[in-house]
Structure 1
């Protein structure tokens, strides 16, 4: 699926950048490094792949043998990637995806046994932010999104969920609590009664069930979550971003951060964006007055000249003067 999307974006002349996990030797001198240095390269091999399609960035978890479970190294790499996205002025929307047919199966239990539960929670500290990022985030949910993987999907602003996906608090079987504010996020999204059902029983639900509960921004078919997520992300990029971020922060703050330090941080960000949002609004008014976006249209929001069929119809009154003398002669 990712290769298909890559070809589509390359054919449309959008910039495509892949951040590879291992840098290979480019000269004979590089190839003659010591065995110890080569071992270090293997140790820092990444478990995620970050790709960019214009203003859309995808963060792909690539630990397919364990259904993309999260060990300490992967969590720290995710933190670096998310922070890089935050600082990238060209990046507008972040899409989380899992390689090989599963979104994320939660914490790696072997790693929990080896290093301890708290060490993984500490490594996942960046995922505790509410919201996860100031800019929009989307989860492309396919296959299993369970345990902390379910919580990662809940942390995103929007979720595109495949109908055959499996979601839930499967950590209930092992006595694992919700590590990433999953209980609070789930309750704010679907209400207390439904949230308690999933949290207490730990029962898995299908993508169809998740859509009925209100967790999905879009329900899609198997194998299409990533493509639909990128399509959704592209639709968000065309909007002025300042007001979009302000409204998002206000909504998240009202549910997840009431009377907290994070609430004060969000308020400060919204105030800093206000001036830019007003400037965007003034530009938007000029566009609307010029005919762009009228009648509730969400397409062609740029300053491109409108085609004849897009222009609003007008009726002009035509006055025909009849010469009575000529009519009499006819």
Structure 2
């Protein structure tokens, strides 16, 4: 039986998928733990950014715990299939996936649900649904096509193809590929940077990207202008520009 560990330090939440004997496959208790972790991150104002990682160095997550699905007759006539793993949207706080080893199947879906992804050079990422006779669920087709374009998404999905860290970086699936031992350090550096900014401005930036992407361009521009104008009226903007003028580091609320 696996577990979800949630630690919060200096406004940064770290979610650890802890089931290393099963390559951090997500079983039923872990699904419950993920839901609880997401709820806390969404509503706890002390948390500004979150990192998702797998325990050990063999896997971020190999997906759902298949033996557990068999136990509840999830497959075949009358079966409901495994429940979706990811959620972060529409949590507007940023999520960073720190990917070592395998991020496949449902684990791949969980990584796609994050906003930023850093992978180790020996990482393996990709969808596995068609290998199992199933449609790639857990929002994979929709997220992947938006991240890397329809053509590349169809290649990965229809071939059910896994890619390494270097290849994933080459077409934008991950934002950075680093030596395996540097994955968590890189994710933490990103998280510290984001946690040092205005939480309101960070969350509105993420929301603008996600929700503005499918608006007509004129509407998206107008909405961005409205949000930016609101931001200039907030105390954080006064602090940020004053700190710049005074040559000091801004201290945001």
Query: Structure 2: how far apart are the matches of 1:282 and 1:230?
Result: 28
SS at match of 2:21: helix
1:46-98 per-position Cα deviation (integer Å, ceiling 9, x unaligned): 61111222111111011111101112221111101111122222111110010
Q: Does 1:62 align with 2:18?
A: yes
- Tell me if structure 1 keeps the 8 A contact 2:231–2:237: no
1:105 aligns to what?
Answer: 62
Q: Note the C-alpha offset of 1:254.
A: 3.1
- Highest Rg: 1 or 2? 1
- Tell me if structure 2 keeps the 8 A contact 1:72–1:119: no
Query: Structure 1: how far apart are the matches of 2:19 and 2:206?
Result: 31
Q: Does 1:180 align with 2:142?
A: no
Q: Does 1:121 align with 2:77?
A: no
2:151 aligns to what?
Answer: 193
What does 1:268-283 correspond to in 2, within 5 Å? Answer: 274=230, 278-283=234-239
Q: 1:289 aligns with which of 220, 245, 248?
A: 245
- Tell me if structure 2 keeps the 8 A contact 1:243–1:274: no
1:213-266 per-position Cα deviation (integer Å, ceiling 9, x unaligned): 1122221111221222112101111111211111111101234x769xxxxxxx
SS at match of 2:7: strand
2:220 aligns to what?
Answer: none
1:99-145 per-position Cα deviation (integer Å, ceiling 9, x unaligned): 122100111111221221536316x4xx34523x2111100011000
Query: Structure 1: how far apart are the matches of 2:127 and 2:2?
Result: 27
TM-score by length of 1: 0.66
Cα RMSD after superposing both structures: 2.5
Q: Does 1:206 align with 2:164?
A: yes
- Tell me if structure 2 keeps the 8 A contact 1:85–1:91: yes
- Tell me if structure 2 keeps the 8 A contact 1:128–1:181: no
Q: 2:197 aligns with which of 203, 224, 239?
A: 239
- Tell me if structure 2 keeps the 8 A contact 1:46–1:77: no
Distance 1:89 1:144, change over 3 A: same
TM-score by length of 2: 0.85
SS at match of 1:106: coil
- The gaps in structure 1 that reach 5 residues or longer are 1-44, 260-266, 293-299, 304-330
Distance 1:87 1:128, change over 3 A: closer
Equivalent residue pairs, number? 237
Q: Note the C-alpha offset of 1:277.
A: 6.6
Q: Which has the higher strand share?
A: 2
- Tell me if structure 2 keeps the 8 A contact 1:104–1:144: yes
- The gaps in structure 2 that reach 5 residues or longer are 217-222
- Tell me if structure 1 keeps the 8 A contact 2:49–2:93: yes
